[in-house]
Amino acid sequence: MPVSLLGAAEIRRLAADLDVTPTKKLGQNFVVDANTVRKIVQAARVSASDRVVEIGPGLGSLTLAILEAGASVVAVEIDHRLAARLPETTAAHGVAEDRLTVIDADALQVRELPGEPEVLVANLPYNVSVPVLLHFLETFPFLRRGVVMVQAEVGERLAAPPGSKVYGAPSVKAAWYGPWRLAGTVSRQVFWPVPNVDSVLVGFERDAVPRGDEELRRRTFAIVDAAFQQRRKMLRQALAGVLGGSAAAASEALERAGVDPTSRGEQLSIDDFVRIAAL
């Protein structure tokens, strides 16, 4: 039996049935357009042999599109009513039971994923999109690539190169794991309820060889946080606290790392930050 997708009317019916009124707190804007969920699955290049993890499956629109492509899905959903209903919905749409595993939990707290899925596909809850992405990349090294839908400003920030206006701590931390790219825009009209922000797709590929171990990652992220907490200040001042306790000590360390002490965090690439942290 081929897998069928959810239509707008069925999504509203399901929500009414479950007594779910979408909440802002949980970033609940459900996609009610089949073309959009197929577009996300195509952008993520999901194929039949893939094991996919989805964060926030909601009523199942995107989940069914991933399953339609033949992949298996582990879905992490915080809303108990939605998590409990998902297997029934996918079964009614032609999906064999063993292709979906639902984890009823806060994605920020999840520390294990069955089957070690290598692809992340999600329409992320907007209020926690960056912490959830960083938590997943840090905790699950088997995740190789992914495409997620996020608020436009967040997607632009994640994919921003050094020197651009929106380049910030999330851009550098995301780049620790590998390259990011903008992968398309999404109209507000495909959501129910219609959000008051624009959305984009953003994709990543994890580097084949990690930049360093957990200790180096932690040190790098601490330096990134210090640099961007005072982003208008020169690095020798912004990093004084984390590099030796004074501007002079920070200057010396930055010079040893080949970084101009009078530059600012927004000019530095992930490679520069890693060189500073590795000293």
Residue ranges binding ligand SAM (CB under 6 A): 26-31, 55-58, 61-62, 76-79, 82, 106-108, 123, 125, 128
Please indicate if the annotation marks 35 as binding a ligand: no
Name the minimum Å distance from CB 146 to ligand SAM: 14
Please indicate if the annotation marks 31 as binding a ligand: yes
User: Considering only CA atoms, which of 49, 34, 45 is closest in space to residue 3?
Assistant: 34
The residue among 77 and 266 lying less far from ligand SAM, judged by its C-beta, is 77
Name the minimum Å distance from CB 62 to ligand SAM: 4
- Specify whether the CB–CB gap between 272 and 247 falls below 8 A: no
> Hey, CA dihedral for 187, 31, 160, 51, is it positive or negative?
negative
Which residue's C-beta sits nearest to ligand SAM? 56
- Specify whether the CB–CB gap between 192 and 58 falls below 8 A: no
**Buried b vs exposed e over 57-95: b needs ≥16 C-beta within 10 Å?**
bbbbbbbbbbbbbebbbbbbbbbeebbebbbebbeebeb
Name the minimum Å distance from CB 7 to ligand SAM: 13
Q: In the numeric block, which tokens belong to residue 131?
A: 């912490």
The residue among 62 and 243 lying less far from ligand SAM, judged by its C-beta, is 62
Name the minimum Å distance from CB 87 to ligand SAM: 15
Name the minimum Å distance from CB 52 to ligand SAM: 12
Angle in degrees, CA 117, 121, 124, rounded to 5: 125
Please indicate if the annotation marks 56 as binding a ligand: yes
142 conformational bin, left if phi > 0, alpha if psi -120 to 50, beta if neither: alpha
The residue among 27 and 261 lying less far from ligand SAM, judged by its C-beta, is 27
The residue among 62 and 226 lying less far from ligand SAM, judged by its C-beta, is 62
Q: In the numeric block, which tokens belong to residue 187?
A: 């109209």
The residue among 197 and 279 lying less far from ligand SAM, judged by its C-beta, is 197
The residue among 62 and 276 lying less far from ligand SAM, judged by its C-beta, is 62
Beta 145-151 vs 51-55: how paired, if at all? unpaired
Q: In the numeric block, which tokens belong to residue 71?
A: 């992949």
Q: How far apart are CA 147 and CA 5, in angstroms?
A: 19
Name the minimum Å distance from CB 41 to ligand SAM: 11
Residues 6+ apart with CB under 8 A from 228: 168, 169, 172, 265, 266
> Which residue in the block uniquely carries the two structure tokens 């989940």?
63
Please indicate if the annotation marks 106 as binding a ligand: yes
The residue among 171 and 199 lying less far from ligand SAM, judged by its C-beta, is 199
Name the minimum Å distance from CB 209 to ligand SAM: 30
Sequence ranges of the binding site for S-adenosyl-L-methionine: 29, 31, 56, 77, 106, 123
Residue ranges of the annotated binding site are 29, 31, 56, 77, 106, 123
